[in-house]
Structures are given as C-alpha cells and as structure tokens.
Amino acid sequence: MKIRCPHCSKEYTIPDERLKALTGAVTIPCPSCRGGIDISPGQGRDPSAPAPRAAKGEERGSGLKERILGSLKDLPPMPQVAQKAREVMAKPTSSFSDLAKVIEADQAIVTRVLKIANSPYYGLSGKVSSVRHAAVVLGSKTLMEMLNLACSSEILGQTLAGYDLEAGDLWTHSLGVAAGSQILARRVKPELEQDAFSAGLIHDAGKIILDPYIQERKQAFRDFVNKSSETFLNAERHILGFDHAELASEACRIWQIPAHIAKAIRHHHDPAESQADPLSFIVHTADAVAMMSGIGAGLDGMLYALHPKAVSFLKLKPDDLSSLMGQIAEFVDKTTREI
Ligand SMILES: [Fe+2]
Ligand SMILES: [Fe+2]
C-alpha cells in the first residue's frame, strides 16, 4: 500500500503484512521530515492481488545456500584479533595487560579502538592514548566491546545496493541493536550482557553475504515487494528459499562464532521458534525497538512488528520500551560522532 506524508508529501510503500499486524490506528514518524503519518489497519489493501512468483530458472534453496556458504571460505576471515581476544577473556587468570597485548598486535584495529574509546559515549573524549590506558580506565569488558565494534565497523559500514542501504546504514542499525541487546540483557540475564552485544552487532551480517545475490535478482525482488506489498524478508524466503537470518546463523559456524550467538541470530525475526531462548528474544526486541526509533532501513522498519510474546517473556513494561529507544539513540549518536 502506498501512503503519502501529509507534511512533506513524500510517498512510501508499506508491506501489507505489517498492516495486518496492526490492531488499531497508529501514527508513525515520517523518515524524511519526522512529521506524523496516520495509518489504519486495512487501509488501501487489495486482498485479490496475487503474489508474484519467483523468476523461473533462478537458482534457489539449499543448492544456492551451499554455494554461498562455500564461497565464504574464499573471503578474508573475521579479524583474528577478535578470536584471540575472546580466548584471552575466557581464561579467568587473564589480566588487562594480556588483552591489551593481543589488540596491540593489529595496528589498524588499535587506531579504531582508540577512536571509539575517545568517542563521547565512553566519556573520555581525547583522553585515551593507548589500548593499555583504555583497558585500565574502562575495564576489560568494555575494551572487548570496543574491539568488537572496531572489528566490524568496516564490514558493516559498506553500501548494500541489493538492500538499498547506503554506506553506514547497516552499521548504525547494528550499533543500535548491539546497545539495545546489551541493555536488555543487563536487566533480564546479566550473564549474557557481552554475548548480547556481540549478537546484536552481527545479527544482520547475513545481509552482507546475500547482497550480491540480491543484486543479481534485483528485478525479481522489486516485482515481489511492489506487486504483493510483502516484506523484504518474505521476498528473500520466496525468491531465494531462505532468509538472511538463516544464512548468517550457518555462516557463524565458518566464522567460529559460539552456537548460542548463532541461535539468537537465526531467530532474530521469529524468537518464538527458538524454544524460549532468552538471547533470541533479547536481540529480536532490540532489533524491533531500533527499527521503531528510525534506526533501521526506511519506512519498512517503522512498522517492524515486535513479537507479541516478547514483552511478557522479557517482563517489560510499556515505559521500558520508550526508555530503551532513548538509550539506543543516545548510544548510536555518541559512538558514531567520532568513529
Ligand atoms: Fe534481520
Ligand atoms: Fe536488524
């Protein structure tokens, strides 16, 4: 369905699936001018329009998935420094200095870690001059968090033409979901705090892997989304036979990412399928809240459906979601100002 912002006249397409999830009229902020757009369930829907079929002859399903996963082996691995740092952190006898030593071995990463440490969010603007200094002042858990950010900023920062994401869009969204997941975990499962941050940061990494394959099928995706007003996630499932969440969780095995993080990535769009896995609900909720805050990809994100079980599963109150929105926005604003 097409809607027009009454304030700036910009036109947007909203997937019908999102409209079906509405139980009453809502007002959403226009991504362009931030003015309110009123939407009611059923508005402009054409139930007789058939969903278009995937283009014939296109490779899809498990064959395509195996080919994509096979090609990942040719890509440069995730920075080794992150893997080594994780091993150091896992040893109870490790010190600040052991962690700093691992990071200092990669100068490109050192530069990025220092930029993050000096960003306004960590409150040390311009004062941290070495990784060792950052480890002492901020503690090894925060240093690990900054290392994760430094290792992923380049890969998550790229343009994804298949998804119509400009350079930096996915990076900003991932930062928001990482921060939101960490805040939620601190509240409901404190022992998962660091894993929640990592899982939130890479939850949409499947989009990076899939982007060239979507570009190859751009017309089929455009036709599917336009003609049936379906979500892009459903277009992935329909045209490719799997979605970015499923693919990323399998890529995690190749990247040697722990299985419980892979599970949360697998279920970030359908946490109810995770057999009551707290990390899956945490990442899903942070993703939905980031999208509702406008830290996502256009209007599609504005109506991102928070799973009805998420609020009760995480024992959240309505106020918690609005305060989470504020905290996510603050983290993204302050960390991106200097990175
Ligand atoms: Fe996603
Ligand atoms: Fe996401």
Closest CA to 204 of 125, 161, 264, 137: 264
* Structure letter (DSSP) for residue 77: P
Q: What is the pTM of this model?
A: 0.76
Domain boundaries, the chain: 1-42, 59-77+157-336
Q: What is residue 165's three-state secondary structure?
A: strand
Helices 259-266 & 278-292, crossing angle to 10 degrees? 50
Q: How far is the CA of 152 from the centre of ligand 1 (A)?
A: 16
Q: How far is the CA of 215 from the centre of ligand 2 (A)?
A: 19
Q: How far is the CA of 269 from the centre of ligand 1 (A)?
A: 6
Neighbouring residues of the ion ligand 2, judged by CB less than 5 Å: 204, 287
Nearest ligand, CA of residue 243? 1
**Residue 33 CB: number of other CB atoms within 10 A?**
13
Q: How far is the CA of 142 from the centre of ligand 1 (A)?
A: 25
Provide CB contacts within 8 A for 43, sequence distance 6+. 1, 3, 19
E-assigned strands of 31-165?
A: 36-39
Contact status, residue 154 vs residue 208, Cβ threshold 8 Å:
no
CA–CA separation, 280 and 100 (whole Å): 31
Per the CATH hierarchy, to which homologous superfamily does domain 59-77+157-336 belong?
Answer: Hypothetical protein af1432 (1.10.3210.10)
Nearest ligand, CA of residue 297? 2
Burial 290-312 (b: 16+ CB within 10 A, else e): bbbbbbbbbbbbbbbebbeebbe
Note down pLDDT in tens along the chain; length 339 residues.
667 766 666 776 666 655 555 545 555 666 665 566 666 655 544 444 444 444 444 678 888 898 888 887 655 556 678 778 888 888 888 888 888 888 888 888 898 888 888 888 887 777 888 888 888 888 888 888 888 888 888 888 889 888 888 888 998 999 999 999 999 999 999 999 989 998 999 899 899 899 999 999 999 988 888 887 788 888 999 999 999 999 999 988 887 788 999 999 999 999 999 999 999 999 999 999 998 888 875 445 555 688 999 999 999 987 899 999 999 999 999 888 755
